[in-house]
Structure 1
Amino acid sequence: MVHVVTKGAKVAEGKQRAGDSQSISRAIAVLRAVADRPGASLGEIAKDTGLARSTVQRLVGSLTSEGLLTKTFGQQGVHLGMELARLGAKVNLNARSLLMPLMEELHREIGDNIDLTVLDHGEVLVIEQIASNEDIRVISFVGRRHPIYCTANGKAHLGQIPRNEALALLGDSLERMTPNTLTDPKAVMAQVDAFREVGLYIDREEFGIDACAVATTLPEIGGQKLAISIAMPAARFKRREEDAKAALLAFRRKMQATFGKSI
């Protein structure tokens, strides 16, 4: 049997889908507003979301009936519901397993060394790594620790924390690893501040001779501050720097599109 769908029916279906998507987006906006302001009134939620108060009242009613929001007896305003906690407890946020497919895709495009790192006790810790395909390469491995002040990932992690905390981590004196290493903590932070504007952090032979890298920060996963980098010998980096930068920014956008901006 052949089902014939008229043009009018297709238009109506399209409008319904658009309406459903809009309702979901508005419901998520309400949930985020309540998360940021527990006990908010309907008027406060409307102000924070830019939605009409009547729309907020309808959405709060629907979300409350599903247990996602609650109006607790004896407390004013709206609070997050226990159903959110139940659902959240079932989410296994493992950065390595979540990001490996995207890292493999990035590696197929670039071919050079890729490090996924976290900030751990003032150092850069490699938690996942894909080695370069090239004969001449920058070597890294899972579990390796790097200085925070002279590596691309380290600068990215410095850009993720408040300036006073970053300066405290750097201390008063920094070891010169190569002739290019910045040893003045204030100079390092000035560079970090400049890099933060574009979202890319660069090491030009500051940690090791003939080794360069570019990194970017990623949304937190499971409370971990993450950064990812591409490292390669200086001559190749000079040729492929713009490719590496574009690939990392695309990786971050893809991660956000896949998992959301706040994981």
Structure 2
Amino acid sequence: MPSSTPAQSPRSADGEPPVDRDTVVGKVVTILRAFTVDDSDLPLAELVRRTGLHKATVHRLAGELVGVRLLDRTDRGYRLSGGLFELGMLASVERSLLEIAMPFLQDLYGRTRETVHLGVLDGHEVVYVAKIGGHRQASAPSRTGGRMPLHCTGIGKALLAHADPSLRHTVLASPLARRTPRTIIAPGILARQLDTIRESGVAYEYEESAPGIGCVAAPILDVATNAVVAAVSVTGPLTRYRPDAQADAVRAAATGIASTLDRRRALR
């Protein structure tokens, strides 16, 4: 007897949760997630291969997505359309946060001349809302709109340290993927580090997400509730960059963003 369990797509390269491919919405999301940051456009055959959906289904849905400006048709196949970018910029929480945080991020970049990140918590991952870097920016594995695990990034650890205790427990009880030889995968060691982060107000990463880079991060906390809203960080190559030297600047930027968010909320 065939299983009644809905077909689900595997987690994407960026770590999004699986979707039910038996529904139209699930099929659409599977097609959109088939594109990666390295893709410009994809032929129909490649979309079929990556999604595992029937060719006729992919062809029909891709055509409908072109019609509503979520995909563009090209000579080689299909590519993500600017309509997706427009929808993304309508995300109210991230848009408001970004508008307020951007002057602080720009000031932090001007002071350090190293790569500056703004990230928010999503499940067991950090989603990067903004990334500012100049010509000599570090070759960090992050990108705007991308995801990274909480346990191996400075900004992720800053978020996790101030997150709900139940999330912290769940992350520490889950397998911690080793991304480099220096990634902390022992729950006890990570738990002690998170305690230190809560006390000091800053988190550090030393070659835990990628070789050769270091990071200092600080949480942006809601002034009224002390709940974590986001986190800001500065990342650079350890050949020239000392994360601890920028701890005060990063902490000040996070505090400034939090205060501005609170004032904006009071004016509503």
The TM-score with structure 2 as length reference comes to: 0.57
Alignment partner for residue 113 of structure 2, among 101, 111, 114?
Answer: 111
SS in 2 for 1:94: helix
| 2-structure distance, mates of 1:204, 1:92 | 28
Alignment partner for residue 152 of structure 2, among 150, 153, 159?
Answer: 150
Higher helix share: 1
Which residue matches 1:100? 102
Alignment partner for residue 232 of structure 1, among 231, 236, 245?
Answer: 236
Q: Deviations along 1:182-222, whole A, 9 cap, x unmatched?
A: 1122221111111221100001111111011110000249x
The question of whether the paired residues in 2 share the 8 Å contact of 1:160 and 1:225 is answered with no
The question of whether the paired residues in 1 share the 8 Å contact of 2:173 and 2:187 is answered with yes
Which residue matches 1:40? none
Cα pair distance change 1:177/1:139, threshold 3 Å:
closer
Which residue matches 1:126? 128
The question of whether the paired residues in 1 share the 8 Å contact of 2:159 and 2:228 is answered with no
The question of whether the paired residues in 2 share the 8 Å contact of 1:157 and 1:226 is answered with yes
| 1-structure distance, mates of 2:205, 2:94 | 33
Unaligned segments of structure 2, at least 5 residues? 1-92
Which residue matches 1:254? 256
The question of whether the paired residues in 2 share the 8 Å contact of 1:156 and 1:215 is answered with yes
AA of the residue aligned to 1:231: T
SS in 2 for 1:237: coil
Which residue matches 1:14? none
Q: Deviations along 1:205-241, whole A, 9 cap, x unmatched?
A: 11111011110000249x8720011011112223xx3
| 1-structure distance, mates of 2:219, 2:263 | 12
SS in 2 for 1:245: helix
Which residue matches 1:196? 198
- Kindly state the Cα deviation for residue 257 of structure 1 after the two structures are TM-superposed: 4.6
- Kindly state the Cα deviation for residue 146 of structure 1 after the two structures are TM-superposed: 0.6
The question of whether the paired residues in 1 share the 8 Å contact of 2:114 and 2:138 is answered with no
SS in 1 for 2:150: coil
Cα pair distance change 1:172/1:227, threshold 3 Å:
same
The question of whether the paired residues in 2 share the 8 Å contact of 1:113 and 1:140 is answered with no
Which residue matches 1:179? 181
Question: 5 Å matches for 1:1-263?
Answer: 94-134=96-136, 137-138=139-140, 140-220=142-222, 225-238=229-242, 241-260=243-262, 263=265
Greater CA radius of gyration, 1 or 2?
1
Cα pair distance change 1:246/1:203, threshold 3 Å:
same
Structure 1 runs, 4 residues or longer, greater than 4 Å off: none
Q: How many corresponding residue pairs?
A: 170
AA of the residue aligned to 1:229: S
Cα pair distance change 1:139/1:208, threshold 3 Å:
closer
Which stretch of the first structure deviates more once superposed, 103-112 or 172-181?
A: 172-181
Cα pair distance change 1:212/1:180, threshold 3 Å:
same
SS in 2 for 1:180: coil
SS in 2 for 1:181: coil
| 2-structure distance, mates of 1:254, 1:132 | 23
SS in 2 for 1:243: helix
Unaligned segments of structure 1, at least 5 residues? 1-90
Which residue matches 2:85? none
| 1-structure distance, mates of 2:203, 2:119 | 14
SS in 1 for 2:192: helix
The question of whether the paired residues in 1 share the 8 Å contact of 2:216 and 2:244 is answered with no
* Percent pairwise identity: 26
The TM-score with structure 1 as length reference comes to: 0.58
Cα pair distance change 1:137/1:178, threshold 3 Å:
closer
Cα pair distance change 1:95/1:136, threshold 3 Å:
closer
- Kindly state the Cα deviation for residue 140 of structure 1 after the two structures are TM-superposed: 3.1
